[in-house]
Structure 1
Amino acid sequence: MRPVVPEEIGDLLKWRPLMLLNRTLLGPAYIESIVSYSPALITSQGGKRLPLEVWGMIIDFSSRCPENHRYSLVRPKLLQTSAGGDELVCERYKRWLPFGNIKQLEEIEMYRFYLAHPDKLHHPDLDSSCPNPFYFPIPSFGSPCAFPTALLASKTRFLHLELTVPDVIKNLEYGYCTCCSGKHVVGHDFGLSGTSARWILYLPSLCRIGACAGKH
């Protein structure tokens, strides 16, 4: 996955892929955007101000411990204008078929395709019976979320796209997959062929890393 940049908002609203929103970093990104414009914009009731270096330390500290960060799977819906400028409104997904239940190699490619095209029911180039994990007769969305598009220029990266199967398992499904039973490693006799480079990584003659662990 990679961070979203402000210049691609227009394309995202046409394409409407699924994205990973780091809710923990949304606040620090907002503070950073204000402080980078002018630290004087944040003062105490007594009129006291913190120097820019201190704000940098606060933002850095608030971004630590990524394993404790909270995430949401979102999809861009529309752009609205408020008193503070343009805001990107996103739908928040509440359910999908667990990525951790993937068992077939073709499902890896299909699920990645559906992450980029959640409205599609079939891959145009693959003949697969793999269902769209986000398609339900009655869609289930949480309350929509909105944030200023200006925050996407922040150094604090809170919104990502081009998601992969490991990204979803790691950040939205607590890192659990049936392949490794939550251990992120499976035995050397795990039966997948050499064509599964996107599914597992090989550690010579020792073990194999499951899809939930990704490339790192």
Structure 2
Amino acid sequence: MTDKPKRPRLLSSELDFEEITDPSNPGTAKSAPVPDWANDAEDQASSQRPQPALFKSAARYGSDERKSAKEKNSGRDNFTMYAAVIALLGFIVIFGTIVYTKQIKSDELTPSYLTLPQNVVTVDDQTIRMVVTIQVSNADGGWLASHKQALSDLFPIVMTTIDVNDLSTEEGMERAREKLRTELNTRLQTDKIQAVLVDELLTRTH
């Protein structure tokens, strides 16, 4: 019997082969080793990337800044409102003072008057009936009121001192009024009477 020749058998454990991959099968592809310089670049980029804590701090800083700006704007608004209120109050005070001052001056310049009862006298065969008003300054209003009776008693006597012919003309009436004013001041020993105004006048010849 002829012995068949034995096939040489190679033990895989005894040989080192490089792993061969099939290009048509992606699953069998083995990733290429990453160079050391690529890992170093990635580590450097990661160290330079901002951390979440920094972003949080920046956001908090922005929030505080907006809050501070809002408080400043609110303070300006309040200051503007207070300034406007103070200006308005000042205007009201000044306006009231001006009006009050004008009113006081107006009252001081406004004369006081006293109308005497009607008086009838006879002068040179002519009967004169007259109603007059005595004028003094506002400051002398009290004096005028306190001398009302004295003026009423004195006026008929003063009427007899005027010229009856003056009562017929405008110029003569001016002289008669001035005569009445002067006589009243002289007899009362004063200069407070500013004018004697004739309200009614009637003359009749007998």
TM-score by length of 2: 0.21
By relative contact order (CA 8 Å, sep 6+), the higher-ranking structure is: 1
Considering fraction of residues, name the structure with more helix.
2
Considering fraction of residues, name the structure with more strand.
1
TM-score by length of 1: 0.20
**Larger of the two Rg values belongs to structure:** 2
